[in-house]
Amino acid sequence: MTRVDHRHRHLERIAEVREGRTPEKVGYPIRVRETEVVRTGAVGAGLVRVTLGGPGVAGFEAHAPDEHVKLVFPEADGSLRLPEPHGAVLRWPRPSPTTREYTVRRFDPVAGELDIDVARHDGGLVWDWACAVRPGAVVHVAGPPGGLIVPHAYDRYLLAGDLTALPAIARRLEELPKDARGWAFVEVADASEEVPLSAPVGFEVRWLHRGERPAGTGDALARAVTSVPVPEGERLFVWAAGEAGQLKPLRRWVRDTLRPAEDDHDITGYWKRGVADFDDDH
């Protein structure tokens, strides 16, 4: 009997979705990798980039701008509890180990490097770690489990978020076709947190400064996004992420005003004020 190799079927499905008209979440083969810190560096005043490498990065896959990995940290007693492969998923120990989810900002298979951009959060577990970690440190990375593949079939794209969403927005702008059109709104503290973005010529990029307001408060992002003049009859894809409470007005606007097809938008709470390791399971 001839054996059929299904290991790369997800790559075929990703190619099909990209050539189609409807976004789809496609799963990748998932595993836990032992990586090493190659270097760290500031990205503007609000982000620290941690570049990971080492033999454990070999075979890593990155296909969607908002895909994420989990960084697994040792417990307070120094023990490290890692998930184990279980078919197409990972089996996580109970109680759950200390992990945090982060967007894959960049993966370079030639250099064998994986970039994770960590947003400023004084006193936060990963921010403090990213500021202190040194090259050679071992980091365990789980995932990504897959990602949302968005076809290049839309008339326009609307991207919005706060500093935590900036890595995903930056990557999506880089990976869109050069003739793509749309808007990108990013809320930051001030101009020091702005970073260069490689946006298509047809994109309007707007930085929103919150000033002294705490992150995750105010309605500047919602007001800016909902004022966009979407041309009637055009097909729009909306992607937004950030503090869960700030996204509620955007969800209502998309649902009640734009009324797109169910697959034409993706709005995700990356974090919630006062909640550690928030998981938006909407």
Contact status, residue 221 vs residue 160, Cβ threshold 8 Å: yes
State the virtual CA torsion across 274, 275, 276, 278 in degrees, nearest 10: -140
Amino acid making up residue 188: V
Q: How far apart are CA 34 and CA 80, in angstroms?
A: 12
Q: How far apart are CA 225 and CA 4, in angstroms?
A: 48
CB hemisphere CA count around 45 (13 angstroms): 7
Q: What is the pLDDT of residue 184?
A: 98
The residue written with tokens 């938006």 in the block is 280
Query: Residue 32, Cβ neighbours under 10 Å: how many?
Result: 17
Query: Residue 196, Cβ neighbours under 10 Å: how many?
Result: 8
Contact status, residue 198 vs residue 226, Cβ threshold 8 Å: no
How confident is the chain (282 residues) per 10-residue block, as mean pLDDT? 56 94 94 97 98 97 96 95 90 95 97 97 92 98 96 97 98 97 98 98 97 93 95 95 96 94 94 75 46
Tokens (6 digits) for 206:
């707007």
Tokens (6 digits) for 97:
């180990």
Q: How does DSSP classify residue 277?
A: T
| Torsion sign across C-alpha atoms 127, 128, 129, 133 | positive
Q: What is the pLDDT of residue 89?
A: 87
Q: What DSSP string runs through 32-43? A: EEEEEEEEEEEE
Amino acid making up residue 276: A
Q: What is the pTM of this model?
A: 0.94
